[in-house]
Each structure stands twice: as C-alpha cells, then as structure tokens.
Structure 1
C-alpha cells in the first residue's frame, strides 16, 4: 500500500469510529395532555444504556454503536411503549413520544432490573387526581410497590399493609356486612381499604392480593378530593389493580406452604394490535388455621380491556368477581360494662391454639366490582376522564362472636370472670354501589405562572339491604373451651335451632352523595408551588325502612371542605420542604334516642363532623434516586366527634405524631424499605362523658409502629430478603377503662426472611414468616391471635 495512503486510511477508520461512538438517540416524552414527563425510564434493550427524562421531558442516549435496537419507554401508571430504532453513523431524533395512561406494568421484575431503587415508586395520578410527582406533592403517602410484594411473597392484603408506615391492624375482615375488608389504624383513626383505582370499591371479606399491582396509603384527612365515604381522618387506602398493557405475555404462579396453604394464579395479557389489549387474571387460594379449627377459601377472576379508538380517545374497562368463604377468626370481645377480672394476656391464660369455632360454621362473601373509563385528549392542554364504577357485595352464612361475661339468660354465670358467651347471626345482606365521576385536567399560564387545574364532580350511591336474623345465644364457655351453659357444640344445626323464631332485621338503607371539587397547583417559582382545593358535598340519607309501609328516616346535609399546601425545593428535584392544611368530614346519621323526661323516642340529628390537619415535613430524592424518604409531623383536631356511648356529639380529639419512610439503594443490588411512626392521641374534652378525658382514643392502636425489609441479590440470579415489623403495647380498652380497667395488647416484633432464584423465565422462592414463632395479637376492645410461624414456597413461570 502507498505509504501516503496509510495515514489517510487510518484517519478514515478513526474518524468513522469516533463518529459512530458519538452517535446519539434523543427525544421528548409527553403524556396525552402534551405535558412533558419527568423521570421516565428510557432503556436500550440488550445493552447497558439507559437514562431518565429531565424536567422538560427530554432524554439523550450517547455513544451508541451502529445497529438495530428496541427502545423501551416506561413510567408507572402509563402504557409501556417499545420503538424500533436504527443507528447508522447519524444521530437519531425521535421527536415527541406520547405515553398514555391506564397501564401498570406486568413484567416489572424485568424492567426494574435497570432501576436501582426498586422499592421506590411514588409517581401517581391518583393521590391528587392529576399527574404529580411525590417530591412536588404537599401531601404524604406511602406506596407499597409490586416489586416489594414480589420480594416478600405476599399472599394476604394484611401482610401487604405491614409495609406502610404507621398502619396497624385493629380487626381482620369478619365477612359481615358493613365491616368491609378489616379495620386498620392510621394517624390515630380507623380506616378501611375502600378505594380501587381511585374510585369507590367495596368488599365484605378477603382481598386477594394476586390482582393488586400496588397499594397507596394516603395520609391525613382527605375529604377535599375523595369525600367522606371512602376516607377516615387518618387517611385512605387505594388499591391499584393490574391492567392491560401493549404487549403479549404473562405469568403462572403456584404456591404451597404450612397449614395446607395452596395458591394458583394465572395472569395473561394479549395485545394483537397497538389499539387493543386484553388481560385476564384469575386465581384460587385456600388455607387452614394453625388453631384447632379455621379455614379460608378464595376464588377470583379479573378480566380487563383497553381500546384506543384514536390518538385522542382511549376506552378502559375492568371487572373483578370473587367468591370467598371463611370461618370467623377468634374475636374475644372484652366486657365494656363491668370491671375485667384480668388485665393482660398472662392473667387471662388464653391458649391460642383454641379457636372456639368449627369448620362447619362459615360465612361466604360474593363480591363484584367494575370500572369503565373514557380518557379523552381534548386539546394539547386539556384532557377529560369519565368514570363509571359500581359493585355488589354479599354476606351469606353464620357470623359469631364471643362476649366476655355472663350469658344474660343464665344467672349462674357471673360477669367479670373468664367466661365467654357465644352469640350468632345468620347473615343475609348485600351492599350495592354506583359511582359516577367526571374530571377535567388542564395546564395553562397566567403571565409566567403555570397552573395545573383539576375540576371534577362525582356521584356515589349506596344501598345496604340487610335481611339477616336477629342475634341469638348458643352457649357460654370458659377460656379453656369447656362448656358452662347452653348447647355443647358449635355447628350449623345448633346455630340454626338457636336462631329459629328470632325474626329478621329487614333493614334497607340508602345513601347518595353528590360532590364537586376544584384543585389548582400553581408554580409560583421553579422551586415554589402552592396547591389550593375546595369541595362541596351534599349528602342524602334514607334509612331504617323496617316495614313495607314505613318510609324510614330521611336526612339531608351539606358541607364544604378546603385544602391548602405549599412546597419549596431548596435543591430542585432532590429535596423539598412542604406544609399542608387538610380537612376531612363525616356525616353522622340521625337516630332515635330516649327522652328520659318523657320516656319517648325522638329523632336526633347531628352536625357534620369536621377534622383539620396541619402538617409539615421534608421529602428527598437524593444521590441519583438512591435515597428517597419522607419525614413529617402532623397535628389533627376533631372538634365535634360523635360518641356512641352517650349518643352525643361533644368529643374533642387531638392526634399528633411523626412518620418516617425510607426507600434506599445504598449499594448495588441492595434495596431497603423501612418505616417508623409515633402517634399521640388524646380525648381532650368530653362534657357528656368526662371519664374519657385524657384517654387515648379507642381506635388509635399502638403509639409506635415500625417495619423494615431488605432485598439483596448476591449473584446474578440468586437473592435473599429479610426484615421485621412490630409495634409497642397498647391498651385495647382505652375507651372503657374507667369502667372496665385496662387490658394491654403486648408489644411484638415479627421477623421474616426469604431466598430466591430468578431469571427471565421463572422465579423460585422460599419464605419464612414469623421465624421465631412469636405469639402476638391485634385488637380493638377485642383480642385476636395472629398467624404463627409459616413456611411458603412459590414458583412463577413468566412468558
């Protein structure tokens, strides 16, 4: 070769190499409102290249070699998009790429391999009913992610909620109409999971976590955006279900473990075109109790469909039906009207292996929920969301409970001993709901100030029809299970005979609520934003129609609910300081009370209860998203709380505390989720029942709760998880202790651990819950023993 051509040849190769190495792929990601999306994951498949979008929704992938690639773009709450990209010595500009809402990722395990902080996922459109990042939100909420549920092999909704800071169980689901899916304490007040995908969703029994994509626990009074029917003054629980996505795949899961635990679940998604996606999720789960009797069975199906009519309109529909059967968990109701003969578990001497029930006595819950959505892009700045949802929940079978004290038909069984009388009801009730909701979201500027505006209306209709029997008495037993009085055995035949001739409730209660709300997030400066919101609610109650000719009680009330918040970011997108004022409210239904001066029944109506919260704290998203945390202090005051004991509305309650949640990725392959809370709740004034003053409010639960879970992948496919959760002791009789004395639910710490092997095709895991076989309890003027040590094996095939 000519010596003069050699340098030119080398230069050409070197230039071509540099040119190829400097090739970039760029683009801008927006939502269907044409709003730039921040923090969207952009991954170049089968490479180590990946990035997230900046504040303007832009991304850049640099130093891309020539070739054909698949670009995966994903963001929680939006449909994942895959694009084919060819790189041939020139930069590739993909211009604007639009993501559409309505999808939660099924194959998060694969995609999250490229996301460092796997347990952190705080972006959601549900909390504020508009797309808003956690660090920009003045409200506190905890997200229990899909990856956390998988890491912990979660098989009960109760276990899922143990990951939320400050949440503790008071009651398990009883299956009885009105009790819903259990009661939990949050910020000193009882709350139930009654929100599904941002709208009302009901159940009277077991929630199967196999159709749960994530759980959002929204903290504090949240009446302004969500009303009163699905919230409490401590917050609300939103269940986000699995939805269709634009690909074909799925997974099949089989599990087995202690106490005959068996689970099978199939989850399949089909997307024959970019316009249509269909997902079918179904499963079966059963287990027996560690006690001498007890069982749970659950079957569910959950089909869902997404259809993109055109670039502006998308239709989404989901449906879930479940059939659950269970025995009543052991609920030892402590006497509220006389001194207790015991003040602790040790003094009571309860053997937790005893259930005091029979597998012959069960209650069945049949539940259906549906949700239809029309998502319409009106313009580049405005969008519309039209929702219709509804549900039907039935309770059929026997509900029983054990009351501490004498059977009042037996004068020989004295009050105040370790005796428990068993009462029963043949339940036959159903709850129907219909929810209509219309939301408009828009972005506009007034001068240089940007506004994110939400305007919405919703209508919720409840109808509870209860044809259950009146309560009947079966027998009295002592704490060892020996019969003292009444029928010797608890079985279907004896219960049927005990309830025969007692009559039925024949109750029919209707409630409908119309609400209208407006919320505006105003970006005053790049680092400062404020939120102002207000809601109007009109409540109509028609209840207690006990005969064909009785029109029942009618009651109408209305109220306003404001909300304000401010966020300052001294380090933009990494550190925010926030404060909020939030309002919650509750309608107190009228009831008949006795006028002792005339001995006549009069109809007493009540004012709308009001709760007001002041809160401030900090949120972080530091070290390239490796440390996400929220630390807050809250103070909630309720000025006109109704007290059932005196049928008056004069309690004043103060509940304050601190909460901390941390999601961290301190080193490669190590992910940590933890939470801590302290709550100080007190009845500060009670004119009609002064003995309550100074007491902790009855549904407040423990003062201290804590949780931690760590997952470490020590080889490419092998990993381990370990953690604990616990709480301090608390007095379950705080509302009655001036009469009964105290009874303390002991403090506890529960340790759990797992091992797993995982690749793109399957996952195998072994999990041990309650490794030390701790005996522990929950309760709300009750005592319920909790799950003992349990071993669980799970196999998941992914395709």
Structure 2
C-alpha cells in the first residue's frame, strides 16, 4: 500500500511538471574521424536522466528537452567523454553533431565484449530489448574480441563465456556432427543462425560472424523444440551490409600448418537507393597436432540489403561452405557396463600424439544456408517481419570411433562407417512486433507463427570392426568376442571400403514438421518494473519413414515463460527472476514383454525442462562496469529410460537436475583497457532413473555435463597516445576443475584432471593495417575434454595475422 501510494505521488508530480515544462527536441549524429557513423554512443543531457543511444547510422534523437542552455554529453565505453552546449527552444528541433577522435577501426578495438553492454538486442527475445530489461541471461562474443584473440576456429570463441565448455570436437557424422558443448550441465550445439535453425554436421566458419550469443537456460518458448536446448542455445549473428564502402583482407598463419585467408568487402550498389552488398569469404587449411588429421575448407557468404523506403526493407543471406577433413575418432574408454580397469589418465596411459586415423580417410560436410527476410513497418507501433530459411547439410565420408568391447584386455575396438546422408531444413516465420501503451502501461509484444520441416535422407553403409588398438598404439586384428584372427585392415580408403562392402546399409527417408504459435509481452508497470509473459503452442507431426505409415506420430506441447525485472536504478541496476521451459518430442519405440512376446509400439509425452533463476545485472560508471550474477535450478522430466521390470521395454519418468550460479564481468576502468571475466559452478545429477542403468543411475552425473567449475579471463590494453599509440597487449586464460566423464557405481568413476590455460597476444592496430601475434596454451598444458570419453587437446600453439583495411 505504501509502495502504491509512493508511485501515485511520483506520477502525479511528474505529470504536473511535464504539463508546465517548456520543451524542445534535440537531434544529431556522431561520426568517427574517418567519417564513419558511430553506433551505440550514449547521448545524455547533463543534470538529467534523459538520454539516447546512436543507431547504426550514428544518429540520435531526444524529445522533451527542457528549454534553455543545456550541456550535452557524448560518451562511449573506454573513450574520453565529450561535452557541448546548445540552446534549446520551445517547440523547435535543434541539431547538434559530435566527431570522435578515433576512427572506426579504433572504435571497435575499445569495446571488445559486446559493443555496449546494455545495448538493445532483437534476436534473444525476438523483440528490441536492453539486457537490463531482459529477465533472461545471455553472453555475447563480439567479432572484435575474436579478432584480438586471432580466433580462426568457431569453437575457440566459447572460451570467453562463463558456464560453457566443449566436450568433443566436430566429428562430421550425420545428424549431430557439430561440436558438442556442455551448457549449464546439458549438451548444446551451434544450431541457430540469426535466430533460425542453421544445421551443421561439421564446423562453422567464423568469417561471417558478427557476434555469438550464448542464450542460457531452457528457451523452447521462443525457439521451439527442434533441438536439445535444456541448458540453452548458441545463436550465431551474421555480418550485415551497410552503406559505406570498406573492407578488410586478412592472412593468418600458425602452428600445425595453419594458413587462412579471409576477405570482408562491403559496398553500396546504388547512389540513389539504399542497396548494399557485403561478401565474407575464407579459405582455410590446417593440420592436426597429432600424427594424422587435417582440415581444408572454402567459405563464402554474400549478404544483400535493400531499404525500399523508411517502412520496407529486404535482407538476404547466403552461406556456402565446402569442407573436407580427416577426423580422429572419439576414444570411448569404457563399455559402460564393466568395472573400469583404470581409474585415471596415468593408468590409461593414452598416447596424445596418436590420431588413430589417416589422411586418406576423410569426411566432407558441404553446407548451404539461405535466409531471407522482409521487414515492414505497419505503423508507428507495429512492425512485421517475414522470414524464410532453407538449409542443406551433407555428411559424406568415413566416421570412426573407438570402444572398449572387452574390458580388461587393454585392447579397444575401432569401428568404421561410411556416411552418406543429407538433411534439408525449411523454416518459415511470421513475427509481429508491437510497442504501444494501454493506459499508462507500456507493452512490447511479439506474436509469431513458425513452420519448421526437417527431411533426412540416409544411404550410409553399415558398421564394421576393423582392428583392435591399445592406448599406446599397438594394433591387433583379433575379433574381440570370438578371438578369431582376421585379415589386416589398413587405414586406407580402399581397405575400409572393402570391409564395409558386406555390411547392410541404411536406406531411409524421414520427414517431420512442427507448427507453432507463440506470444511474448514485456509489460512496464512502472519505468523500473517489468513483467514478461510468454507462451508457445507447438504441434509436432512426424511422417517418419516415408515408405511406411507405421512409424507416424504426432505430439502437442505447451511451453510457458515468465519473467520479472525490477530496476531500483534505471539502466544501472536490474534485479531479475525467470521461469523458463524447453521441450523435445520423443519418438515412439518398439517394445515387447519380458519373454519377447506381444510386440507393440509405445508412445511418449514430450520431455520438458523447467528452470527457476534469479540474479542481478548492473551497468555502472557510464557503462564502464557491467556485471551479471545469476543462480539457476533446472529440472528435466519425462525422460525415457529402461524399464526396471522389463529389459525389453522402456518407460518414461526419468529426471535430471542441474543447479549452479554464474558471474560475468566486463570492465573498462581506463581508456584502452578492457577486461572480461567469468566464473561458473554447476552440479548436475540424475534425480529419478534406473539404479542398474549406466545413463540414468540416481545420484550420479549423467555424462556430458562438463567440469563443475569454470573460469575465464581476458584483458587487453591498447596505448591511445604517444609513440606507442595503436600498440596493444592481451593476456588471459581459462580454468576447468576436475571432470567426471564416467560416474557409475558399476563401472566406477573416471575423472579428467583440472587444467589451467594461459594465452597472450600482442597487436598493432593502425588506420590501414593490423598485425597480431597470439600464443595459446603458453605453459604447454596437457589437458583433455570428453563426453564419456577422453579427447586430447592442442599443446602450445601460435597464430599470427596481418590485416589490410580499405
């Protein structure tokens, strides 16, 4: 009651002041010294809370500025604040422009975390929303940060985000051949491009990346249930065309035969109309740090924008990737049933220099992605966005893995399979975004319709045992179960094709679709109190194998989301709470009674993940210190697991829980000094399951959850004056605690040891060129990642880069 009375008095006196105030408007632009527009510059009126951010064209507008002489402040993270005075007249619009001393390239170097920590983003919430207004937690990796760290691999960018770690590299295999990450204790892959499904069975090339958004927590309400996303999603935002001619040419070289050439060229196509083209391309070759393995790829991504007028615009993106690799097998060191004969890496004695493959056994993952969108401003309050995405990804070549068939003999079986699969995806979305008031309450709304179809055609071979290997590299050709000696199998294409020739391959054509509707509303009760309510209805229709109707099924799921934000200090401190949900559709399975009789198909409800989270976000000292602290609790229910009473059946009711907290900091304490840091702690356990099942034993880690504790740090300093101007240094690294890759009472526990990595860089960034030198894993740490597996990682390596700007 007291709070309501306080708010009523506040609005009463505010309305009186506004009614009698004599106001005018202020507008203008901010440019850098080379004439480029400066985006995300803070424009404020001294002595007031009135302010605005410049848009992508460097323009700003302030309405309702008090009459008289005003001091206008232009500030940008890491730059000296600029001030100008201006006379505001009632009912008139005054123009005031600013010119920053830095050029566009230098401006990008100053902010490496996100181009403004509290800027508006659209794709995270499918509506323009500042981070402090969003009750969901997300982290952003900017292209500028990736440039500073000479990152040539998409996966390496994740080292800058708290709470996420890679569990194995991309295998290129069909369906899920992209890299696996652990995010808040659950598996995650790079499955979204500009908020739309962008499938990949191989690597993503960073050449066309403007930023990477790691959206944390179950997010099925806005993004659907087409992919596992219990811990969150990884969303790649691509580079967009603009209306200034400029470009860069970059050459990178480094350890293990790294050679990479990239180009980023942007040009306007019309002097009278707003049409622009941007092309990003890359050619990449690199060898493995092991005795075999390589990557060779070519990537090109043209993007076109056409702004027909102030209300209508079209955006098109095409990504084409041609990639061939020789990929080392994942080393699964347990049969997931027998007691482990080794309890640690020292006892396993894995030779890290061995790849267990050859450069003759390759896999190709060509990918094509087309996205088009039409944005139409229906009115001053409503905008329509129509989006179409069409993607194709292939897996053609050899996939191999190592598995412990017979525990205790120190020999591990190596199996081979020849992939021949293509996946087509189509996604059509229609979104309506509104920003309007009902009475005094501001509503920001998105209403969306989503159609998604996936068609998978598989003509791959069967599987074949090739040989037995020891962790030290010894080889035999003894069939692990019968003990029969087999003819030698060599790691050549002809030899592997020969053993696969007699296997029964797969010939399937599977299709499924989702039809969804969703709505989300951010309601401003007061300027500092916001409530979010969201709901998705999703109908999943699987045709299964097209040649038969026996495996058809359909399911319906509701996915709600609620959020609360309170800002005790507007745009400075935000307290938030959320409830979030994700789901995945579960296919029916063939089961029988315990004696093998009564065969039947058993259907299931969708799995669901529910998260409760709370925390605080801050943006202090003129956006020079940004922090997020969050505490979360995720429960996944309705998991399918073995039926304890019937080994030939399965049941539904498994539960997994994930609890933890995350801290993320971005600081710019001095001009030219940028610091990003993060720490996360996670505990993931099976809550309900089958005591005898390796994957769902209650009280145990389910696998793939990653280390419990992760920390990241990166700091750069660039000299801005004197003889050392444009010279910069960077230093940082990562820490990961001990990681239980196997946690089971029957097999025992296998831990991967903790590790600490140290990285450093030196760069010189002039107006027309940039030279970079980076050293990763300076101390040559021997370390591993895994997902029920042991995967050795790179030793010390260097990368140098030269960029020419025009």
What TM-score do you get using the length of structure 2 for normalisation?
Answer: 0.86
> What secondary structure is seen at the aligned counterpart in 1 of 2:670?
coil
Q: Equivalents in 2 of 1:652, 1:116: separation in Å?
A: 40
Q: Equivalents in 2 of 1:619, 1:121: separation in Å?
A: 10
Which deviations, in whole Å up to 9, do the C-alpha atoms of 1:603-647 show, x marking residues without a partner?
A: 111111111111000000000100011000001112222236973
1:15-54, aligned counterparts within 5 Å?
Answer: 27-28=26-27, 42-43=30-31, 45=33, 52-53=42-43
2:781 counterpart residue number: 774
Q: CA deviation at 1:114?
A: 6.6
1:615 counterpart residue number: 613
Q: Is the Cα contact below 8 Å between 1:26 and 1:58 reproduced in 2?
A: no
1:594 counterpart residue number: 592
Bigger drift between 678-687 and 116-125 goes to 116-125
Task: Identify if the C-alpha distance between structure 1 residues 285 and 650 changes in structure 2 by more than 3 Å, giving closer, same or farther.
Answer: same
Which deviations, in whole Å up to 9, do the C-alpha atoms of 1:746-789 show, x marking residues without a partner?
A: 11111110000011111000000111111111111111111111
1:196-207, aligned counterparts within 5 Å?
Answer: 196-207=193-204
1:473 counterpart residue number: 465
1:573-592, aligned counterparts within 5 Å?
Answer: 573-592=571-590
Q: Is the Cα contact below 8 Å between 2:27 and 2:60 reproduced in 1?
A: no
Picking from 721, 726, 743, the partner of 2:730 is 721
2:511 counterpart residue number: 510
Q: CA deviation at 1:351?
A: 1.2
2:757 counterpart residue number: 750
Q: Equivalents in 2 of 1:788, 1:748: separation in Å?
A: 12
1:304 counterpart residue number: 303
Q: Equivalents in 1 of 2:245, 2:238: separation in Å?
A: 18
1:674 aligns with 2:677: yes
1:118-267, aligned counterparts within 5 Å?
Answer: 120-122=116-118, 123-267=120-264
Q: Equivalents in 2 of 1:96, 1:489: separation in Å?
A: 75
Bigger drift between 120-129 and 256-265 goes to 120-129
Q: Equivalents in 1 of 2:113, 2:329: separation in Å?
A: 40
1:618-629, aligned counterparts within 5 Å?
Answer: 618-629=616-627
Q: CA deviation at 1:601?
A: 3.3
Q: Is the Cα contact below 8 Å between 1:117 and 1:626 reproduced in 2?
A: no
Bigger drift between 279-288 and 120-129 goes to 120-129
> What secondary structure is seen at the aligned counterpart in 2 of 1:27?
strand
Which deviations, in whole Å up to 9, do the C-alpha atoms of 1:138-163 show, x marking residues without a partner?
A: 00000111221111111111101111
Q: Is the Cα contact below 8 Å between 2:139 and 2:213 reproduced in 1?
A: yes
1:697-712, aligned counterparts within 5 Å?
Answer: 697-712=702-717
Q: Is the Cα contact below 8 Å between 1:650 and 1:688 reproduced in 2?
A: no
Bigger drift between 281-290 and 550-559 goes to 550-559
Which deviations, in whole Å up to 9, do the C-alpha atoms of 1:666-690 show, x marking residues without a partner?
A: 1221101111100011112225747
Q: Equivalents in 2 of 1:279, 1:482: separation in Å?
A: 52
1:444 aligns with 2:440: no
Q: Equivalents in 2 of 1:280, 1:738: separation in Å?
A: 54
Task: Identify if the C-alpha distance between structure 1 residues 777 and 605 changes in structure 2 by more than 3 Å, giving closer, same or farther.
Answer: same
1:361 aligns with 2:361: yes
Task: Identify if the C-alpha distance between structure 1 residues 451 and 398 changes in structure 2 by more than 3 Å, giving closer, same or farther.
Answer: same
2:502 counterpart residue number: 501
Q: Equivalents in 1 of 2:299, 2:60: separation in Å?
A: 29
1:282-681, aligned counterparts within 5 Å?
Answer: 282-334=281-333, 335-406=335-406, 415-485=407-477, 486=486, 487-544=488-545, 548=547, 550-643=548-641, 647-681=650-684
> What secondary structure is seen at the aligned counterpart in 1 of 2:156?
helix
Q: Is the Cα contact below 8 Å between 1:116 and 1:626 reproduced in 2?
A: no
Task: Identify if the C-alpha distance between structure 1 residues 523 and 279 changes in structure 2 by more than 3 Å, giving closer, same or farther.
Answer: same
What TM-score do you get using the length of structure 1 for normalisation?
Answer: 0.86
Q: Equivalents in 1 of 2:254, 2:550: separation in Å?
A: 51
> What secondary structure is seen at the aligned counterpart in 1 of 2:191?
strand
Task: Identify if the C-alpha distance between structure 1 residues 127 and 56 changes in structure 2 by more than 3 Å, giving closer, same or farther.
Answer: farther
Q: Is the Cα contact below 8 Å between 1:177 and 1:395 reproduced in 2?
A: yes
Bigger drift between 473-482 and 133-142 goes to 473-482
Bigger drift between 428-437 and 680-689 goes to 680-689
Q: CA deviation at 1:433?
A: 0.2
1:101 counterpart residue number: none
> What secondary structure is seen at the aligned counterpart in 1 of 2:351?
coil
Task: Identify if the C-alpha distance between structure 1 residues 394 and 114 changes in structure 2 by more than 3 Å, giving closer, same or farther.
Answer: closer
Q: Equivalents in 2 of 1:626, 1:428: separation in Å?
A: 51
Q: Is the Cα contact below 8 Å between 2:451 and 2:516 reproduced in 1?
A: yes
Which deviations, in whole Å up to 9, do the C-alpha atoms of 1:387-410 show, x marking residues without a partner?
A: 00010000001111111234xxxx
1:787 aligns with 2:785: no
> What secondary structure is seen at the aligned counterpart in 1 of 2:161?
coil
Q: CA deviation at 1:112?
A: 3.0
1:19 counterpart residue number: none
Q: Is the Cα contact below 8 Å between 1:464 and 1:509 reproduced in 2?
A: yes
Q: Is the Cα contact below 8 Å between 2:111 and 2:674 reproduced in 1?
A: no
> What secondary structure is seen at the aligned counterpart in 1 of 2:494?
helix
2:99 counterpart residue number: none
1:34 counterpart residue number: none
Q: CA deviation at 1:111?
A: 3.2
Picking from 94, 109, 128, the partner of 2:105 is 109
Q: Equivalents in 2 of 1:439, 1:311: separation in Å?
A: 19
Q: Equivalents in 1 of 2:435, 2:151: separation in Å?
A: 39
> What secondary structure is seen at the aligned counterpart in 1 of 2:746?
helix
1:732 counterpart residue number: 741
Give the superposed CA RMSD. 2.6
Task: Identify if the C-alpha distance between structure 1 residues 47 and 200 changes in structure 2 by more than 3 Å, giving closer, same or farther.
Answer: closer
Q: Equivalents in 2 of 1:373, 1:59: separation in Å?
A: 25
Which deviations, in whole Å up to 9, do the C-alpha atoms of 1:525-558 show, x marking residues without a partner?
A: 111011001110000112245xx5x334101000
Q: Equivalents in 2 of 1:90, 1:221: separation in Å?
A: 50
> What secondary structure is seen at the aligned counterpart in 2 of 1:732?
strand
Q: Is the Cα contact below 8 Å between 1:403 and 1:422 reproduced in 2?
A: yes
Task: Identify if the C-alpha distance between structure 1 residues 522 and 595 changes in structure 2 by more than 3 Å, giving closer, same or farther.
Answer: same
Alignment coverage as a number of residue pairs: 722
Q: Equivalents in 2 of 1:443, 1:346: separation in Å?
A: 61
Q: Equivalents in 2 of 1:382, 1:768: separation in Å?
A: 49
Task: Identify if the C-alpha distance between structure 1 residues 462 and 108 changes in structure 2 by more than 3 Å, giving closer, same or farther.
Answer: farther
Q: Equivalents in 1 of 2:583, 2:571: separation in Å?
A: 33
Q: Is the Cα contact below 8 Å between 1:332 and 1:404 reproduced in 2?
A: no
Task: Identify if the C-alpha distance between structure 1 residues 332 and 74 changes in structure 2 by more than 3 Å, giving closer, same or farther.
Answer: farther
Task: Identify if the C-alpha distance between structure 1 residues 773 and 719 changes in structure 2 by more than 3 Å, giving closer, same or farther.
Answer: same
Q: CA deviation at 1:133?
A: 0.2
Q: CA deviation at 1:91?
A: 8.1
Q: Is the Cα contact below 8 Å between 1:116 and 1:668 reproduced in 2?
A: no
> What secondary structure is seen at the aligned counterpart in 2 of 1:160?
helix
Q: CA deviation at 1:49?
A: 13
Q: Equivalents in 2 of 1:155, 1:252: separation in Å?
A: 14
